[in-house]
Amino acid sequence: MKKLSVILAIIILIIVGGGVIYASTKDSQVFDVFYSPEVRKHREIARLQKKFFPESISGYILSSRDLDKIRVEDEECSEMRYDIDSSSGTQDRREVCIQEILGEYRQSGGNTIIFVHLAHYTKGSEVSKELTEKFVKKEKLGTFSVFHWEPHEIGWFPSSSFNLINIQEGTWELDGSGGENYRYLLPADGNNPVLQYYLQKYPPAS
């Protein structure tokens, strides 16, 4: 009888302990094998969101109309013209490929919206950087050097984790049909807390 009680106690400990371990690690990639391919994709996106996109940043809330709170874009490639000899006008064409993770933050109680693009170059990273350095003017934002690709955008090449970060600032409003309109009427000044969070966490390489 005593032996049976010990065995039952061990079984209970194993069940309870296993439940605690699963509860604390259920989002781990180890458990993906128990799910369908579609659910695995959602789980991977959820892990990326947890790692790189806080639920809120100083009054801005991570927002989405979909099941996933962030979007993982498909790889996009484009051909860029690259000067070999500017004096003769000789050019080469290089393919640049990029993959982005996109998060959308909305101001709580306001209509300001911030889009955060975290990107990896899968091809042509150096070409893109060189062309940006050559044709896009650097500006100072505090102690950091950043780029304005468009008036409502501020971007930089971070020193780690990603090849490119681009932040877009705008506003949103509901239209008559219940849809949403986005406007980018004012130039980005970099003072919003979302941009400051990413600038401090992933500072420019130079």
Determine the pLDDT at residue 122.
93
In a domain, 97, yes or no: yes
Lowest mean pLDDT among 37-46, 109-118, 147-156: 37-46
Q: Which domain holds residue 144?
A: 53-201
Give the count of domains, the chain.
1
Mean pLDDT of 49-54: 94
Mean pLDDT of 49-55: 95
In a domain, 184, yes or no: yes
Closest CA to 70 of 87, 93, 53: 53
Q: pLDDT digit string (tens) for 78-108? A: 988 766 556 666 667 888 999 999 999 999 9
CB 122: neighbour CB atoms within 10 A? 14
Mean pLDDT of 99-121: 95
Determine the pLDDT at residue 18.
46
Residue at token pair 């239209």:
175
In a domain, 39, yes or no: no
Q: Using an 8 Å Cβ cutoff, are 118 and 101 in contact? A: yes
In a domain, 20, yes or no: no
Phi–psi pair at 145, nearest 5 degrees: -100, 130
Determine the pLDDT at residue 61.
96
Is the pLDDT confidence value at 20 over 60? Answer: no
Q: Show the tokens assigned to 174.
A: 């509901």
Is the pLDDT confidence value at 201 over 80? Answer: yes
In a domain, 47, yes or no: no
Determine the pLDDT at residue 60.
97
What 3-state class would DSSP assign to 202? coil
**Mean pLDDT over each residue of the chain, to the nearest integer:** 82
In a domain, 176, yes or no: yes
In a domain, 25, yes or no: no
Determine the pLDDT at residue 48.
87
Residue at token pair 């290089």:
94
Mean pLDDT of 109-132: 93
Mean pLDDT of 27-40: 60
* 179 vs 84, more confident: 179
**Cα gap 33→178, rounded to integer Å:** 40
Q: Which amino acid is at 147?
A: F
Q: Using an 8 Å Cβ cutoff, are 111 and 172 in contact? A: yes
In a domain, 152, yes or no: yes
Is the pLDDT confidence value at 42 over 60? Answer: yes
